[in-house]
Structure 1
Amino acid sequence: MDSTARGMSGIHTALDLSFTHTEGRWARPGSWVGRDFPDVRMFQEIAVTAERAGIDMLFFGDGSGIPDTWRGSIAPAVEWGIQWPRQDMSPVVAAMSTVTEHIGFGLTYSSTYTHPFTTARLLNSLDHVTDGRLAFNVVASSRGADAANYGFDELMPHAERYERMAEFVAVCKALWHSVAPDAIVRERERGRFADPKKVHAIDHRGTHFTVKGPLSAVPSPQIEPVLVQAGGSPAGIQTSAQFVELAFGFGGSVAAQQKYRESLDAAVAAAGRDPLSVGVLWATQLIVGRTAAEADERRRSVLSFWNEEAVGAHISHNAGFDFSTLPARFHLGDLADRIRAAEASPGGLVGMLVSELGPDHTMTRAEFFEHGWRHATGMDHTLVGSAEQVADALEENFAATGARGGYMLSSPLATPSGLADIAELLLPELRRRGALAPRYPGRTLRENLRG
């Protein structure tokens, strides 16, 4: 059914390029042919293909540590390429912007370990380079490997991470607005560059940061990048509700997505903001084929990569908890309590299992790793089928989860063909149905996401 006829706003789309080369993707037939990660030419090719399809944004998640939570060693992650290597992708974004005109770019930096002045200045510069097409995914880090690289022996307490995030974002926003948009006068005849009355120190003295300011930069096209956040815990939702423009949502079921949407809407309203102004991009892995049979064959090719060490390294790193320590049998609620006590992340796989099965559910270690295998491969949340079948599923899900936002799409297949299938098979089908948001109606990423 045409989505416009249902009174829905259009679907926005982003491509997740965080893992184009990890978890076995690099070894799949046709992947990175003639090039090796991080060859910028591959990302430029992806950017051109995605913009041609009208995708709104290309996104890069990030983490600075090699996964070492599983058995306390980096060896499994290094051997099997689990969520590493990871580059700082800001230079790649700059390069992709030179071969495109409209598509946006999302970058990730940690409010737990980076400084707001450095981050604000970098993102201001990139918003200039991209001509107003930048988004900032601000994260609170919960991984021990990252903490160790910044001189921490243990994880920062969960609540403190989000307190720091709130202050971090407040400082960044103050810095981005410390030079008024009309401060730069450029009076050539007099040689006068700017009006000092419109450039102000922020004189921030808080719990975590002391920053004088102002930002030593010219205001960028968007003034501040589009602010994105993916926190799913109560603290994460409450904090992000203060500033988030676009949330990244997860959830293995429509019920879980609806619960998240309701919690986010309530928190945004409590922060004095309009819930209708905040969209959710649901993280969705896709395998699209020209036929359902072709898509299913591609799905089977993905499953052959994983072994227990690869699965363990993946799920332990993302939770910040060593699942090799699990007993033969346990209650899910007890496991969630252990994870919280370790100041790790009780969301993700464990949070999903608690939501679906309940905290009193007894699970064996073998059963948990079966779920972990599906979670690591993404098969617990992957849509597999022809473009028509996947489009049907996305439209139905979009209507059921609030019809505000869209999808953060990823592929477990070879790079760039898996992503090209999304751009060249799925997007035209969604556009034919009238399901997509208008194609680049504005100049900046913020304007396009509001279209």
Structure 2
Amino acid sequence: MSGMHLALDLSFSHTEGKWARTGSWVGMDFPDTRMYMELARTAERAGIEMLFFGDGTGIPDTWKGSIDAAVEWGVQWPRHDMSPIIAAMSTATEHIGFGLTYSSTFMHPFYVARLLNSLDHVTGGRIAFNVVASTRGADAANYGFEQLMAHGERYERMEEFIDVCQALWNSVAPDAIVRDRETGRFADPAKVRAIDHHGRFFDVKGPLPSVPSPQVAPVLVQAGNSPRGIAASARFADLIFGFGGNLASQQRHRTMLDTALTEQGRDPAAVGILWATQVIVGRTKDEAEARRGEVLNFWSEEAVGAYLAHNAGIDFSQLPASFPLGELKAQAAAANASPGGLIGKLIGEHGEDYTMSRTEFFEHGWTSATGMDHTVCGDPGTVAGILEENFAATGARGGYMLSSPLAMPGGYADISELLVPELRRRGALAPRYPGKTLRENLAV
């Protein structure tokens, strides 16, 4: 695995005011498919390997127990199923891949395995599957859960979910389809077999009623960074989605992952991490800083609160004037929410016994919600240099999942047209589309 691989994270390319900022579309609004088709063409010209879509199915409602703030300010909503958009983007491109997210906590593996097989056919082998263990109460409520599944149990379900998917993708052998025109014989029944899975969470007979796809299985992506999440990703993931912005935590994640991969009998050198990194690129440093200021001006306490509460599972509108950070950790644990995020970051910096004021918490929350705590800002040379240095310091395996807080499509176009050419000029990037499938292009 040589050189950086690059993906664009388009999960929130239309939320939190991006639809209105300088450089946004005029005459087109989300979810107009033409927006994404044009963006895909721009990214492919630059040689970016993947367009990635995270997902969530609930409207944030933890802040004040209401969806009103999220709806009013467009905070992490609306969220559409992006599989039809990906199919459309694939018709406008030839090489770039597409990452799609589904929750193993709520979805059924047979449905997901069949859908991803179909999308891999439509795209000619350019699909990645980001499997997630869901941590948000608003999502759970839409699938009939009164509370979130316990943290460890979510990963047990994820591992079985992937076991079922992999068995289904392999239930029809690659050479099973014979299509003998002389005899009319379509396939060899000896090479199409039931999986007869009977597990704790799923019972699936199989086989998959589908023709094997170009990649057979999509590239598997996983983002857990807790010890349990890392153990799950080491078991099956081809590529890891890691959290950028803090070198010490990145190095810790890389070390823990390498240990877990070795325990699974896998080669750590073959599994890269794409670090989630927000970038603001300007033609000059001053232009980049001005764009950064425009982003900060959008956010209000209501918008920040809706974002933070949704992702932490705690109604922060009820915070007292001061509190020990350990109390927030206990509240998140009681709600079976994610132990990481802003709360985990603050405890890592200050410790559980640290008493924080409400004002101080929201100051940190502002940088977390805006992504400024993991944003690289500057002209193309400055940003490229920072990424190169960080890539080397984190093991030089994988690359970056780049996002932009700027307008759609302006911020992403600047990444493609200003930053990527600078990285390529420096020789920092992996070879441009060396294969036909996403798996080949990502070298996984």
**TM-score, normalized by length of structure 1?**
0.97
Counterpart selection for 2:157 from 164, 174, 180: 164
Distance in 2 (alpha carbons) for counterparts of 1:269 and 1:328: 47
How much has 1:107 moved relative to structure 2?
0.2
Which stretches in structure 2 are left out of the alignment for 5+ residues? none
The residue type equivalent to 1:142 in the other structure is T
Distance in 1 (alpha carbons) for counterparts of 2:244 and 2:312: 15
Q: Which residue is equivalent to 1:365?
A: 358
How much has 1:132 moved relative to structure 2?
0.4
Q: Which residue is equivalent to 2:324?
A: 331
Contact 1:60–1:89, Cα closer than 8 Å, also in 2: yes
Pair 1:58-2:51 in alignment = yes
Distance in 2 (alpha carbons) for counterparts of 1:296 and 1:30: 16
Q: Which residue is equivalent to 2:145?
A: 152
Q: Which residue is equivalent to 1:404?
A: 397
Contact 1:21–1:37, Cα closer than 8 Å, also in 2: yes
Contact 1:127–1:134, Cα closer than 8 Å, also in 2: yes
Q: Which residue is equivalent to 2:242?
A: 249
The 3-state SS of whatever aligns with 2:401 is strand
The residue type equivalent to 1:36 in the other structure is D
Q: Which residue is equivalent to 1:124?
A: 117
Counterpart selection for 2:21 from 28, 39, 45: 28
CA deviation map 1:78-111 (0-9, x unaligned):
0000000011000000000001000000000000
Pair 1:47-2:37 in alignment = no
How much has 1:361 moved relative to structure 2?
2.2
Q: Which residue is equivalent to 1:203?
A: 196
Distance in 2 (alpha carbons) for counterparts of 1:26 and 1:47: 18
How much has 1:315 moved relative to structure 2?
1.0
Counterpart selection for 1:142 from 122, 127, 135: 135
Distance in 1 (alpha carbons) for counterparts of 2:268 and 2:325: 32
Q: Which residue is equivalent to 1:5?
A: none
The residue type equivalent to 2:164 in the other structure is V
Distance in 2 (alpha carbons) for counterparts of 1:365 and 1:288: 33
The residue type equivalent to 1:132 in the other structure is G
Q: Which residue is equivalent to 2:425?
A: 432
Which stretches in structure 1 are left out of the alignment for 5+ residues? 1-7
Count of equivalent residues: 444
Q: What stretches of structure 1 move > 4 A for 4+ residues in a row?
A: none
How much has 1:395 moved relative to structure 2?
0.3
The 3-state SS of whatever aligns with 2:274 is strand
Counterpart selection for 1:311 from 281, 304, 314: 304
Distance in 2 (alpha carbons) for counterparts of 1:154 and 1:335: 18
Which region of structure 1 is more displaced relative to structure 2, 384-393 or 320-329? 320-329
Distance in 2 (alpha carbons) for counterparts of 1:296 and 1:29: 14
Counterpart selection for 1:229 from 209, 222, 230: 222
CA deviation map 1:272-310 (0-9, x unaligned):
211111100000001100000000000001000001110
Structure 1 residues 441, 44: closer, same or farther in 2, change over 3 A? Answer: same
Distance in 2 (alpha carbons) for counterparts of 1:271 and 1:330: 41
How much has 1:251 moved relative to structure 2?
4.3
CA deviation map 1:169-197 (0-9, x unaligned):
00000000000000000001100000000
**TM-score, normalized by length of structure 2?**
0.98
How much has 1:49 moved relative to structure 2?
0.3
- Mapping of residues 337-348 of structure 1, within 5 Å: 337-348=330-341
How much has 1:322 moved relative to structure 2?
1.9
The 3-state SS of whatever aligns with 2:131 is strand
Q: Which residue is equivalent to 1:380?
A: 373
The 3-state SS of whatever aligns with 2:178 is strand
Q: Which residue is equivalent to 2:82?
A: 89
The residue type equivalent to 1:50 in the other structure is A
The 3-state SS of whatever aligns with 2:412 is helix
Contact 1:256–1:355, Cα closer than 8 Å, also in 2: no
Q: Which residue is equivalent to 1:258?
A: 251
Q: Which residue is equivalent to 2:208?
A: 215
Contact 1:241–1:271, Cα closer than 8 Å, also in 2: yes
Q: Which residue is equivalent to 2:64?
A: 71
Contact 1:288–1:295, Cα closer than 8 Å, also in 2: yes
Q: Which residue is equivalent to 1:443?
A: 436
Distance in 1 (alpha carbons) for counterparts of 2:235 and 2:132: 14
CA deviation map 1:376-431 (0-9, x unaligned):
01111111100000000000000111100000001111111110000000000000
Superposed CA RMSD in Å reads 1.1
How much has 1:30 moved relative to structure 2?
3.0
CA deviation map 1:290-341 (0-9, x unaligned):
0000000000010000011100110111122222232222222332122112
Q: Which residue is equivalent to 2:6?
A: 13
Distance in 2 (alpha carbons) for counterparts of 1:354 and 1:398: 26
How much has 1:360 moved relative to structure 2?
2.6
How much has 1:65 moved relative to structure 2?
0.7
Distance in 1 (alpha carbons) for counterparts of 2:45 and 2:236: 31
